[in-house]
Structure formats: C-alpha cells, structure tokens
Amino acid sequence: MEGMEPPLPTEVGGGPSFPTTREEFEADPRVSWSRLTGKWLLEADDGTEFEYDEGIKRWVPVVCFRPRLAG
C-alpha cells in the first residue's frame, strides 16, 4: 500500500528500542557492519534480523529464503 511506512523494530520484534545513529550502532553489541552489503545489520534478542535502510532511516526486517530439506 502506498504511503504506509514500515513498522518500527519494536512493533515487529519487540524488546528495547534499536539504535538510530552511527555512534549507537558501533556501541550496540547486536549491530554489525556488513562488508558484503555495505549496510548495518542487527540481530534482535528473539533472533529476528534487521538491516538499516539509510534512505528511510529505519530498521527493516531481513527476509531470508531457506529451502526445505527433503526428508
């Protein structure tokens, strides 16, 4: 839907607020810099992964495709 903003991390993963500045990113043990993507990554306490989008200045959930193993 056009005009809708993505949910805030506290709305998606719960828990404490996420950092919003470079200084906070560097001080937060949940945050790391990805050389591969050139973006900040955060793993919430529940294991949910987020990527910081500089364009909208928000953390957005990372969507991973994990194929099912035949069993």
Q: 21-47, pLDDT tens digit by residue?
A: 999 999 999 999 999 989 999 999 898
Q: Can you give the residue ranges of every domain in the chain? A: 15-61
Q: 6-16, pLDDT tens digit by residue?
A: 444 444 444 45
For 66, residues 6+ apart whose C-beta sits below 8 A from its C-beta are none
pLDDT bracket for residue 3 (50, 70, 90): low
Report the largest interatomic distance among the alpha carbons of the chain, rounded to a whole angstrom: 46
CA distance 71 to 68: 9
CA distance 48 to 33: 16
| Residues 55, 68 contacting (CB under 8 angstroms) | no
- Tell me the pTM: 0.66
Q: What is the pLDDT of residue 52?
A: 96
More confident residue, 3 or 67: 67
